[in-house]
Structure 1
Amino acid sequence: MNDAAPSPAAIQEVVHRGVPLAAAWGIEVLNAAGGGATCRLPWRQELLRPGGTVSGPALMGLADIAMWAALLGVSGGRDESLTTSLTIHFLRRLDPGPVLAEARLLKRGRIIFGEVMIRSEAASEIAAHVTTSWAAVTPRS
């Protein structure tokens, strides 16, 4: 396994190529190294739900991408692991605006465990807490 961390731009390119929805939503990888990653979801009207808050599916997708970015950051940019579970607790509504997801790996092995904290870019309060597990998959050559 390669522990050299590619640049955030290189990881973002892998993410956008691997998950075209991340590119369509404009998800940005701000950093990804040392078992952690921060991703940014720009404000987009189509990601809102009735009541003017950012939708749960958008937050779940952002959390999943942030965890993959953390894995890419510790694997030299090559990771084909698969999400096996994602549990999200919505703690407060997110008003329209950019959203940040801060992921960190808790345990790596055949099963990978992590957590993601989601908040508005304009606030420090956590709006959603995510726990997730992944099945480790070795990239094909």
Structure 2
Amino acid sequence: MGNLLYLGWMDIFYAIIQIFLGLWWLWLPVFLAVLFIELWVNYLKEKAIKKINWLLLEVKISRDIEKTPKAMEQIFSGFYAILTKIKFFGKYWFGRAQPWLSLEIAGIDGSVYFFIRTPERFRNLVEAQIHAQYPSAEISEVLDSFQNS
């Protein structure tokens, strides 16, 4: 009985494989087109990302400032201004991608440092958002050791 059930499933599986292979001319071009489009968009994005001029900003805030987490939340809300709508032509022809920035906390020689890595065109936005909540903050551009890697 178990043998008959096994043969039935094998026949069904074999029939499905035969149909799939018999219709290769239908699904293979669609598969290759989707694959090509994905590879093309990734190529264009990589090319566009390499053109971005990045800055690494060090933010120094004095220890005696007593602010609630709401202040930092307002900074993050302000960073939302970099969000742009990528249109179809921009994505698939120019490789445009959503811009981003990176906030980093680093411990170096026992000290804590706060860095923001941002495209150069957003420097004023980043500085304005930080100074709006922390007017005494010092923001300086530092050497990015990962710039060319």
TM-score by length of 1: 0.23
TM-score by length of 2: 0.22
Higher fraction of strand: 1
Higher fraction of helix: 2
